[in-house]
Amino acid sequence: MIIRVNDQPREVAADLALADLVRDLGLADRKGVAIAINDEVAPRSTWPTR
């Protein structure tokens, strides 16, 4: 699956959880990280299963 991270395309596995993506990007320990899916913010509490 192709996603966009900071407006740059990135290929990821279709079953990759948001928490895993954040970890793979090296951002897991940072505050101020936000994820939007189809213009809707995904709460951090949903990242492990979304």
pLDDT digits (tens, 9 = 90+) for 1-47: 999 999 999 999 999 999 999 999 999 999 999 999 999 999 999 99
Question: Which residue type does 7 have?
Answer: D
């740059």: which residue's tokens? Answer: 8
What is the domain partition of the chain in residue ranges? 2-46
Whether the Cβ atoms of residue 46 and residue 17 lie closer than 8 Å to each other: no
With vertex at residue 13, the alpha carbon angle to CA 8 and CA 14, rounded to the nearest 5 degrees, is: 100
Question: Which residue type does 33 have?
Answer: V
20: DSSP letter = H
State pTM to two decimals: 0.86
Q: Nearest-CA neighbor of 17 among 31, 32, 28, 8? A: 28
